[in-house]
Amino acid sequence: MSNQQEQEYGYFDDVAKEYVITTPKTPYPWINYLGDTAFFSLISNTAGGYSFYKDAKFRRLTRYRYNNVPVDTGGRYFYIVDGDTVWSPAWKPLKTELDHYECRHGMGYSRISGMKDGVTSSVLFFVPQGEDLEVQHMTLTNSSLTTKKLKLFSFAEWCLWNAEDDMTNFQRNFSTGQVEVEGSVIYHKTEYRERRNHFAFYSVNESIQGFDTCRDSFLGDYNGFDSPEVVAKGQPNNSIAHGWSPIGSHYIEVELAPGESRDFIFTLGYVEMPQEQKWQAPGVINKTKALAAIERFDSVAKVEKSFKQLTDYWDDLLSKFVVISDDERLNRGVNIWNQYQNMVTFNMSRSASYFESGIGRGMGFRDSNQDLIGFVHLVPERARERIIDIASTQFEDGSAYHQYQPLTKRGNAAVGGNFNDDPMWLVQSVTVYIKETGDFSILEEQVPYDNDESKATSLFEHLTRSFNFITHNLGEHGLPLIGRADWNDCLNLNCFSMEPNESFQTTENKEGGRAESVMIAGQFVLFGNDYIELCRQLGKTAEAERAEGHVEQMVQAIKAHAWDGEWFLRAYDAFGKKVGTHEADESKIFIESQGFCTMAGIGKDDGKLQQSLDSVNKYLACDYGIVLNYPAFTEYKIEYGEISTYPQGYKENGGIFCHNNPWIMIGETVAGNGDRAFEYYTKIAPAYQDDKVKLHKTEPYVYAQMIAGKEAATPGQAKNSWLTGTAAWNYVAITQYILGIKPHYNGLQIAPCIPRDWTEYSVKRVFRDVTYDITIKNPEQHSSSIGWITVDGERIAGNVLPMFEAGSLHKVIVMLG
Ligand code: GLC
Ligand code: GLC
């Protein structure tokens, strides 16, 4: 049940699927995401953040100042004037001490309440489904014994659309800003007169007694958001912005009798107009679409209906996989927050967070394929579309653009390809997709190369070319050439850069490219086996056998050339020297090759697999998780590249790069060691860190990309929360390999690998529209061996559950033994 036990900064409310923050002074802004298709907002626990339409760089609605002071500057702010007291219900920006504060981050919404001198303001923020706007539903309540005469000011600062230009091109931008005000709606129409067919609005469903649209007029000279002049004097200026920085601020006078409540619905929205309908009069924007949107949310009843639609949507999504165990932390991580983070990562890729500025890179080929394994069971149709988009940026030889642009869906030529782990991730995502959905038809889709339709082949052929890319690009030890980098973007073995303005990712100063990757070798065996299995499913026996020959050769090459005695080597460098060996002074052992080789089962027959895992436990594991390499580099090594630029214990140099920890968890399950697999899971799973919240700094409900490692100056401190492959991989590790509910071509496969002292747990899994209610019993303290399985009371042979008619429900008992 829900853990209502209050911690220093907040607690989980599992019944409501919320994290409840009880103080605005969290160690770092703790954010949430609103929106799930086109209109998105980031919102912190003090209402900081911003909104954008589809693209955080090119269509940013509101301004946000990254890496500024005070931290988290910019947001949707409210100011309440109550006699001599001025306060903000989300604490910021005024930072007046509140009598009570609470922020509830839920699934696609946040509710922030503040109370001061008997007045409570509670604001529910969400993006209604199918709408291009953010609702801010404020309820003001007077619980004092006297009548309150309040003055309410809202505030949003417009971004001039292109977020990068907005923060650099002041010689132009200070002259372009334009607004219109009509009734209670403030319209932001910068550049609408020329090439933009979109504008934004900020409205409230009450008549207003004034407004401001000019930031400098609202704030007064030299003031910050914490001391606006109009708020201080309690009177708006009704300013109209001409250039400089346009804002939207409503002014409302509210009188509340004792016990009285009033609701105000603010909407911050985006509208696109057809070219020929842009104007209603010369220079006056056509507001019909905007007004229609505003009207859809102009009453509490309408807002509540739409909010219920959102919560129902999430309840339904999160009903597809539900674990019920005695461990409430496990339940909340698996059932709520991990899946939620998977969806946010799907929507955002690596674009917009409090660590990703929304103006940077496009979507990664490898990142997107991996993200997919965490959300495919939630939104399979969108996974299908994503796969086709990704595969369309592949080259004819099976390699791929490393990134692509979400708006154009084209490969990013500035970055190019040559990250040699990229091709095989496509095999993973496609096989995972088919196992989840049973939709083999995707393999027949005609998919272009380099977005050139004339070169299209079947998607299956794309997988074959992915596979062949590896076999066509082997180095002198029979191991795959690494190219610019493999999964570890910072292990740049052909880069050799002494020029600070060169990119480690795209520079290759060393001709010849001899360096080989053991990580890709393990990845090739792991996903190569998936490819073989797929071929067999399709009856392509000859292709399966051909592929088996290559995979077997790779296993032999790894055993012959990639075993260091106690663990797997990481690579061979550009000179053919070993990387990740006991012979080196630093970085003797790396995690990635241990992860991929053990997940692939390499060395299970001769003890290498177990020994590799034991070495991870001995050298890489620590209290906060498993570090990437050890001992960390202490100086720049030109032949290794960016990895050696990070101070010890951070990022790819000895940090706990949470993305790769689940590879080891899965490796442990391959070895049959459920205790150790689960112990690693709890080391980094957010729900288990309640004693480390302050140290971690970042949100206690989501994974961060990195936790500082044991050699860091600040071990245990997390950074880069939210947008990371960590979410998807940990979800797969816990649900499929530890809890052991694994989609397979012919049905759900049951293969738990759990701590021996777990006696029972159950999982409700909706798989291809059939609900399986599975109880796993373990009275004799096993970890993974199955005694018997019954389905609706009948014993079945093997461990794959039969398929049934859509909509039906079946009871499964699994007895370990
Ligand atoms: C980041 C990148 C990912 C890479 C990882 C390790 O998470 O998004 O592509 O694999 O860093 O370098
Ligand atoms: C490093 C970062 C990763 C990023 C890459 C390229 O690998 O860890 O997050 O993708 O650099 O900028």
Catalytic site includes residue 489: yes
Tell me the pLDDT tens digit for each residue of 291-319. Answer: 999 999 999 999 999 999 999 999 999 99
In sequence order, what E strands does 480-538 have?
516-517
The structure tokens listed for 336 are 């709520």
Task: Tell me the C-alpha distance between 627 and 420, whole Å.
Answer: 23
Nearest CA to 371 among 390, 347, 353, 346?
Answer: 346
The pLDDT of residue 491 is above 60:
yes
Please compute the mean of the pLDDT values over residues 260-281 and round it to a whole number: 98
Nearest CA to 571 among 629, 622, 627?
Answer: 629
- Best of 402, 422, 490 for a ligand 2 pocket test (most atoms within 8 Å of beta carbon): 490
Residue nearest to atom 11 of ligand 2 (CA): 489
CB of 484 sitting under 6 A from ligand 1:
no
0.95 surpassed by pTM = yes
**For residue 321, is it within any domain?**
no
Task: Tell me the C-alpha distance between 350 and 406, whole Å.
Answer: 11
Query: Is-contact 225 93, C-beta < 8 A?
Result: yes
Phi and psi angles of residue 239, each rounded to the nearest 5 degrees, phi first: -80, 145
Residue type, 79: Y
**For residue 71, is it within any domain?**
yes
Query: Is-contact 384 439, C-beta < 8 A?
Result: yes
Domain end (from 290, 315, 340): 315
DSSP code per residue over 701-763 = TS-EEEE--TTSSSTT-EEEESSSTHHHHHHHIIIIIIS-EEEETTEEEE-----TT--EEEE
The pLDDT of residue 181 is above 90:
yes
Q: How far is the CA of 361 from the centre of ligand 1 (A)?
A: 12
Catalytic choice (367, 421, 489, 530): 489
Q: Label residue 19 by pLDDT band (50, 70, 90).
A: very high
The SS3 call for residue 117 is: coil
Q: Tokens 């539903």, residue?
A: 137
The pLDDT of residue 525 is above 90:
yes
In this structure, the answer to whether residues 285 and 167 fall within a common structural domain is yes
High-pLDDT (> 70) share of the chain, %: 99
Torsion of CA 720, 724, 728, 729, to 10 degrees: -80
The structure tokens listed for 541 are 């026996």
**For residue 298, is it within any domain?**
yes
Q: Label residue 560 by pLDDT band (50, 70, 90).
A: very high
The structure tokens listed for 274 are 């057809």
The structure tokens listed for 324 are 């019920």
Domain end (from 473, 508, 523): 473
CATH of the domain at 796: 2.60.420.10
In this structure, the answer to whether residues 281 and 361 fall within a common structural domain is no
Q: How far is the CA of 568 from the centre of ligand 1 (A)?
A: 21
Q: Which atom of ligand 1 is nearest to the CA of 724?
A: 7
- Best of 361, 489, 650, 653 for a ligand 2 pocket test (most atoms within 8 Å of beta carbon): 489
In this structure, the answer to whether residues 392 and 279 fall within a common structural domain is no
Q: Say what the pLDDT of residue 6 is.
A: 63
Residue type, 120: T
In this structure, the answer to whether residues 383 and 307 fall within a common structural domain is no
Residue type, 561: H
Query: Is-contact 191 207, C-beta < 8 A?
Result: no
In this structure, the answer to whether residues 399 and 266 fall within a common structural domain is no
**For residue 463, is it within any domain?**
no
Tell me the pLDDT tens digit for each residue of 92-108. Answer: 999 999 999 999 999 99
In this structure, the answer to whether residues 310 and 355 fall within a common structural domain is no
Q: Say what the pLDDT of residue 408 is.
A: 84
Q: In the structure, how many helices (H) and strands (E) does the chain have?
A: 20, 43
In sequence order, what E strands does 88-129 have?
100-106, 109-116, 119-126
Task: Tell me the C-alpha distance between 799 and 706, whole Å.
Answer: 36
- Best of 659, 660, 661, 726 for a ligand 1 pocket test (most atoms within 8 Å of beta carbon): 659
In this structure, the answer to whether residues 391 and 262 fall within a common structural domain is no
Tell me the pLDDT tens digit for each residue of 324-356. Answer: 999 999 999 999 999 999 999 999 999 999 999
Count the neighbouring beta carbons within 10 Å of the beta carbon of residue 498: 8
The structure tokens listed for 814 are 């699994």
CB of 366 sitting under 6 A from ligand 1:
yes
**For residue 644, is it within any domain?**
no
Tell me the pLDDT tens digit for each residue of 672-703. Answer: 999 999 999 999 999 999 999 999 999 999 99
- Helix runs in 252-353, H state only: 288-295, 300-317, 328-332, 338-348
Q: Say what the pLDDT of residue 1 is.
A: 35
The SS3 call for residue 112 is: strand
CA distances from 103 to 43, 600, 677, 729 (A): 11, 44, 34, 29
In this structure, the answer to whether residues 306 and 358 fall within a common structural domain is no
Q: How far is the CA of 107 from the centre of ligand 2 (A)?
A: 28
CATH of the domain at 172: 2.70.98.40
Phi and psi angles of residue 314, each rounded to the nearest 5 degrees, phi first: -70, -40
Q: How far is the CA of 363 from the centre of ligand 1 (A)?
A: 11
Q: Say what the pLDDT of residue 406 is.
A: 80
CB of 543 sitting under 6 A from ligand 1:
no
Straight-line distance from the first to the last Cα atom of the chain, in angstroms, rounded to the nearest whole number: 29
H, E, C per residue of 372-383:
HHHHCCCCHHHH
In this structure, the answer to whether residues 78 and 193 fall within a common structural domain is yes
In this structure, the answer to whether residues 268 and 371 fall within a common structural domain is no
**For residue 437, is it within any domain?**
yes
Query: Is-contact 625 656, C-beta < 8 A?
Result: yes
High-pLDDT (> 90) share of the chain, %: 97
- Give the structural domain span for 797: 741-816
Task: Tell me the C-alpha distance between 553 and 571, whole Å.
Answer: 17
CB contact set of 100 (below 8 Å; sequence gap of 6+) = 113, 114, 115, 120
Tell me the pLDDT tens digit for each residue of 121-130. Answer: 999 999 999 9
CB of 652 sitting under 6 A from ligand 1:
yes
Count the neighbouring beta carbons within 10 Å of the beta carbon of residue 604: 14
**For residue 397, is it within any domain?**
yes
Query: Is-contact 658 707, C-beta < 8 A?
Result: yes
Q: Which atom of ligand 1 is nearest to the CA of 705?
A: 7
Query: Is-contact 101 17, C-beta < 8 A?
Result: no
Q: What is the mean pLDDT of the chain?
A: 97
Query: Is-contact 624 618, C-beta < 8 A?
Result: no
Task: Tell me the C-alpha distance between 464 and 396, whole Å.
Answer: 11
Q: Which residues line ligand 2 (CB under 6 A)?
A: 489-490, 505, 651-652
CB of 367 sitting under 6 A from ligand 1:
yes
Q: Say what the pLDDT of residue 407 is.
A: 78
Q: Say what the pLDDT of residue 5 is.
A: 58
Task: Tell me the C-alpha distance between 162 and 306, whole Å.
Answer: 30
The structural domain count of the chain equals 3
In this structure, the answer to whether residues 377 and 299 fall within a common structural domain is no
**For residue 119, is it within any domain?**
yes
The structure tokens listed for 107 are 């699934």
In this structure, the answer to whether residues 180 and 304 fall within a common structural domain is yes
